Amino acid sequence: MKKLARRSKETQIVVVVESLTEAGLANATVQTTLPFFDHMLGTLLRYAGIAATVEAQGDLTHHIMEDVAITVGRAIRSSLPAALARYGDKTVPMDDALVQATIDVGGRFYFEGELPNRLHTHVLRSFSEALGATLHLRVHRGKDRHHIIEAGYKSVGLALREALRATGEGIFSSKGSVVFLEEELP
């Protein structure tokens, strides 16, 4: 279990990651004062199999959503097992919408994609950057903005679940694991 808190003049956030490998839909509780965002982030976490609690408050919608995405991404990154599948790809249909997410949690950030709402696109970009993931999001079709956005969060969650699968066998990388050593210098 990992707890990460982030505090600034704009936001106060606490994220607790209890487990990354829940069978079925994980228990995720999200309370950010933004009901639709709570629903979307909770959906992503549940579909990813991540049991977690997220609590946040802040001054502006943009600040809350961006800072929560960063904090959740960092909390998951610090909870990653050494040997995991690393890659995931899922396509989700939701009524008129069809959205695909492809992810690599190998430690390098890159984001490509766009949802029909700049703030939700920004959330997924901030999340993948803090996670250290490459995330490609493709909207194949859709007319209803709600359906497209929700299919986007669900596809990211399911792709992430696939990528977080523990392999128990080494690192999926030709360079092995990358280690950074940090120390305080006088």
The pLDDT tens digits for 91-123 are 999 999 999 999 999 999 999 999 999 999 999
Beta-carbon contacts of residue 159 (< 8 Å; ≥ 6 apart): 88, 89, 90, 101, 102, 103
Q: What is the number of domains present in the chain?
A: 1
Q: Is there a domain that residue 114 lies in? A: yes
Q: Is there a domain that residue 65 lies in? A: yes
Higher pLDDT, 179 or 116: 116
Q: Is there a domain that residue 177 lies in? A: no
Q: pLDDT tens-digit profile of 59-72?
A: 999 999 999 999 99
Q: Is there a domain that residue 156 lies in? A: yes
- Classify strands 87-94 and 97-104 as parallel, antiparallel or unpaired: antiparallel
Confidence of residue 172 (pLDDT cuts 50, 70, 90): low
Confidence of residue 81 (pLDDT cuts 50, 70, 90): confident
Share of the chain above pLDDT 90, in %: 80
Q: Is there a domain that residue 38 lies in? A: yes
Q: Residue 67 has what pLDDT?
A: 98
3-state secondary structure 26-91: CCEEEECCCHHHHHHHHHHHHHHCCEEEEEEEECCHHHHHHHHHHHHHHHHHCCCCCCECCEEEEE
The separation between CA 112 and the C-alpha centre of its own chain, rounded to angstroms, equals 15
Q: Is there a domain that residue 83 lies in? A: yes
DSSP 73-141: HHHHHTT--SSB--EEEEEEEETTEEEEEEEE-SS--EEE---SSHHHHHHHHHHHHHHT-EEEEEEEE
State the residue range of the domain holding 127: 2-164
Q: Is there a domain that residue 175 lies in? A: no
Q: pLDDT tens-digit profile of 121-154?
A: 999 999 999 999 999 999 999 999 999 999 999 9
Q: Is there a domain that residue 155 lies in? A: yes
Cα distance between residue 50 and residue 15, in whole Å: 12
User: Cβ(115)–Cβ(152) under 8 Å?
Assistant: yes
Mean pLDDT of all residues in the chain? 92
CATH of the domain at 53: 3.30.230.40
Cα distance between residue 49 and residue 25, in whole Å: 6
Is the model's pLDDT at 171 over the cut of 80?
Answer: no
Q: Residue 21 has what pLDDT?
A: 74
